[in-house]
Structure 1
Amino acid sequence: MNQLELASPFQLYFNPILILKQGQIWRLVTTFLFFGTFGFNFFFNMIFTYRYCRMLEEGSFRNRTADFVLMFMFGAVCMIVSFIHA
């Protein structure tokens, strides 16, 4: 995002105060979608994320795509709730 100058990382990170007081709801989603700037680390993050998701979907979640998506959504909600209460 930063290379294309569409948005800076400061517009995407999780900030409970901005979410609750200014209604910046997009921060609940974008915090999970930003992997940093393009480079070596970004490349490896994408490879490992793809590989791990593929292994999960072909193994534990075979023919249960909806359960796979719900698992990700449940994990995201749990992380957000635990961060707010920490």
Structure 2
Amino acid sequence: MVNMEIVEHTSCRLCGSEKLTEAFSIGNQFINDFVDEKDIGKGRKAPLDLMICETCSLIQLKHTAPQELLYSGFYWYRS
């Protein structure tokens, strides 16, 4: 079974430092835009917070949603 929990990162993804500072937040946003018209507004949301690492200056998202929610069976784009 796949874990569908949103992960909150408390340390830098690059250097591992715990010195993360919030740079910008736009609150809870829908995880993806792949919803049927009848289900608009019912999708799953996650916090969209940008953090900056005070040690290495990497800008990163504080939360990560599972790939299964981000890229459902309707994902069509290929590069």
Q: TM-score, normalised by structure 1?
A: 0.23
Please state which structure has a larger fraction of its residues in helix: 1
